[in-house]
Every structure is written in structure tokens, then in C-alpha cells.
Chains A and B, each alone.
Chain A
Amino acid sequence: MASNMSAAVDIQGLSVTFERGGSSVAALDRLDAVVPEGQVFGLLGPNGAGKTTLMHVLLGFVPPTAGQAAIFGTDVRRAIARQRIGYLPEHPDTYRFLTARELLHTAGRLFGMRGPALRARSDALLERLDLTAAANRPAGTFSRGMLQRVCLAQALINDPDLVILDEPTGGMDPFGRLQIRALITELKARGKTVLLSSHELSEVEMVCDSIAILYKGRVISGGPAAALVPAGESLERFFIRTIEAVDARAAAASGKGGAHA
């Protein structure tokens, strides 16, 4: 595949079809997208739009039905493509019987890290995410917020060049959301690429350089955040208007009334 060398993520004609109850469901439909290196890229869309499916394709959980996707030029179907990725899932959980330090050491060893470098990186992350005091406690004793932070620490153990965050502030208190936003800003300042999926549009407005809106498996709108939303309009209003416009066009084309689910 012709790779876009300045792209952290390069998606060309990506389709994913699931067989459900005898019928085919197109979760992604000939999707094209490029996530430039060093940017914070927001992925928006209503439930069922394909955001998580897209992330799962990039992470190798789901093979594409058609099309291609590459991370830093490496096809996502190869395990080595994930060497430079950090991933925080929507409902993070971990091995509750391991301590925070053990979790980070285990995660680091899976990336080939070891010895003093691994220990130093683990200690730095524990301190950065306010987990030093709980470092030697089993994760099963952690609060929800602490669990989320230790999962985030695991996602960052390999100092990834691409960080994929699926609803990172879901269920978090304001302090937690502030911490995540600060972390995203820090990652960007260090030249990292962040791919972020979120329903918190105000947060997306604050941190994202570029945005793509997914609906029914396709990108229906996208571009630099500053230029995408018309002046005087909020991202939320623009988002809703964009979705409604697509539904209206689809209804006009089919001659039937269509309702957004």
C-alpha cells in the first residue's frame, strides 16, 4: 500500500461487515481517514457510528473486510504495528490480583522493556498519575478512579508514539477529567499523536487539533477543529446539525421519512 509517511494512521477504503442473525451489518463503510503525526485527533459520532469498531480494527481486534489501515506505515494486521501504540479502552480493567507496580512491569515486559529502564519508567508513571502511595497494593483494592489511572499508566508504559483513548473521561469526576486533559496536552507537547473518541464534545473542543465525525460507518465531516465549526456555533450544535443533514438527505433520496436513532 502507498503509505503516507507523515501520517500516524492511514486508512484507505476500510470496510468492516459483521454477520448478525443471518444479515450483514456494515460497521464501517469504505472509510478513508488520515491522522497526522503529532496531532490530537478527535473521533466523534453517535452510538453505533463505528468509532470503537474503527479503533478495534487499528488495534487488530477485528480484521477488516476490505480496505487497508496502517500505523506509522505498518499494516495493522501485523502484531509489530502495536509496538508504538498505547491503548486505553472505554471500560478499562486489569488483573486485580497484581499490584500497580507489577502491572506496569508486566505491561513493559510485553513491549520488550526490562531492568532499570523499566523500573524507572514505571516509577515515573506511578508518580505522574498519583499512584506512588498505592504502588504495592493489589489493583483489586483500588477505587474506580485509581483503576482507570493504573490502566492509563499501563497504556503509556512503552512511551507510545500513538495513544488511542476510547472515551477516556467516561464516568470521571472533574478532577479526573482535568488530569486527562493535562496529560493529552503533555503528550502533544512531546510530539505524540493522540486518537481520541469521546461523547464529551466540550472536552474535544478543548484538546483536539482535528476532528472527524463518523456516522453509519463513514466519515461525514472532518478537518482542523478551528476551521470545521462555523464561527459562533458550538461543536455540539454543529455535530447535531451535520447528523440531521445526512439523515435528511438519505430520507429525500429514498422518498421515506427517516429518523435518527
Chain B
Amino acid sequence: MRKILVIAGIVWMEMWRRKTLHVLGILLAATLLLLFSINVSGLGRIPGYVKETGLLLTWLLGWILSINIAVRQLPQEEKRGTVYAMLARPVGRGELLLGKWLGAWLAATGAVLCFYVLTVLIVGGFGGRFGAVALLQAVSLHGMLLAMITAMAIALSVRLTQEAASALCYIVTAAMFAFVPRIPEFVTTAAGWRETAMLVLYTALPHFELFDMRRRVVHLHGPIRWTTWTLILLYGAMITAILLIAAWLAFRNRHFSRTAKD
């Protein structure tokens, strides 16, 4: 476990020293303040609008950050050549993978938490409020979603180049958000093998929409039942574990060999 934390620490240090998070935080704050200073059709003064925009931006930035941080970890190690020094130590491939995933996930989640805090402060400045329990549930489910996305990005980056893994991860996660919740609509107009295929997809593909509590939070509908919250978190943990196991299976027998000269 200690080695996993050391490797995760390298990821956090890189994010901090490269000031990626600082830039994104300033960008988020500036964007929010700019948007809320524009009073279009009187919307700028409505707390619900402010909340919705702030949370949307937080989700967008979290999505981008989690993929970008995770997808570069293994390819950059190989490109720099640091993977050789790392694997030359008593570090198993599984430990390296877990350390990279943990570092990427916690870095992305930490940044998203800061964005939530910023949003809460700005919304508060406009007279809005959040339900504390619902917000806590929303943030934790969002964190679990980021765990799945970073695991997917790490898994894809084991065998693909950074650019290919990044593009595929964006496409797949966007499709999960947009397509999976709408499968029941397609099933009603399908028949035969198409209907069966749709149902199989609906069952097999991860349901990212379960982790999105923004509407409840914005419209103050109150928290979900703790049993439901727990089940969704367990579901997310299961998907994350499946993705990490798949990544490990692809990574454990991977050849690392600089054979340009020899």
C-alpha cells in the first residue's frame, strides 16, 4: 500500500508543480463571475441559474480533468523512460497501475471539490443556497464517477497511445452520458434481435446518469435515500474494479524494451 501511495504522490506533485489545477481554478472562477455579471433576460440574478451553470461547469471541468490527468500517466512514463527505473524497483505492475489510478483520481476529485467550494461561495454571494446533505451526496457520487472515468482512461492508455486513449475515452464517456439513459426509448421501437441487443447493452454498459444529482441539488429536492446512495457507490466501485482488473490484465505481460540500439 505504501508503494501505491508513493506513486500516487508523484502524480499529485506533478499536477501541483505544473500548476494545471491553479489555471483551471482561475478559469472556472473567472468564467463563473463573468457569466453571473451578465444579466441576460434577468437570468443573472436567479440563484437557480447560477447554481445550474456553476455545477455544469464543475462537471465539464471534472470530466476533462479526470481524462486528461489519467490518460497521460502510463504513456508519459514510457515516453520519458521513467517506467524503466520504476519497474526496476520492487514495484509490481499492479502496484504501478493502482498508484497511477489513485493519483489521477484523487487529483481530479480534489480539483472538483475546490470547484464545488467555489461554486457554493459564488452562489451564496448571489443569495442562493444548497441543501447540505444533498450536496454531500452529489459530491460523493461525482467523485465515484470520476473514479470510473479515470479507471477507463488508465485502462485504455495501457495499450493505446495517449492521443488515441484520450479521444476514445471522451467518445465513450460522452456516449455513456448521452446514449445509455435513452436506450429504453429505442427498445420500444425495436423488435427481435435489435430489441435483445439494446437490452443487453442497457444492462452491460455503465449507467453514468445514476451519479448525476445536479437537478436534485439545483431545485432543492432533498437528498436521496442512503440505501440508494450506498448501492450507487457500490455499483461505481464494481465498475471501477472491473476496469482496473482489465487494465492490469493488459499491463502485466506488456513488454517494455528500448531496443532501438540493441
Contact = CB atoms under 8 A, between A and B. Distances in A.
Residue of B14, B84, B87, B91 with most partner-chain A CB within 10 A: B84
Interface in B1-30: 2-3, 6-7, 9-10, 13-14, 17-18
Interface residues of A, number: 44
B6 A89 contact: no
Contacts of A110: 3, 6-7, 86, 89-91
A92 B84 CA distance: 9
B17 A138 contact: yes
B92 interface: yes
Interface stretch (A3-11, A53-61, A227-235, A241-249): A53-61
A106 B6 contact: yes
Given A95-B82, A102-B13, A106-B6, A53 B256 contact: no
Contacts of A27: 259
B171 interface: no
A94 B85 contact: yes
Interface string A36-50: 000000000101111
Contacts of B256: 56, 61-62
A93 interface: yes
Given A79-B92, A82-B89, A107-B89, A112 B258 contact: no
Interface string B223-262: 0000000000000000000000000000001011111011
Given A62-B257, A90-B258, A106-B6, A97 B85 contact: no
A27 B103 CA distance: 36
Contacts, number: 105
A9 to B, nearest CB: 14
A132 interface: no
Contacts of A98: 10, 13, 17
A27 to B, nearest CB: 7
Contact of B14 (A18, A62, A87, A97): A97
A94 to B, nearest CB: 6
A31 B253 CA distance: 22
A91 B258 contact: yes
B81 interface: yes
Contacts of B253: 63
A52 B84 CA distance: 12
A100 interface: no
A151 B13 contact: no
Interface of B: 2-3, 6-7, 9-10, 13-14, 17-18, 80-82, 84-92, 253, 255-259, 261-262
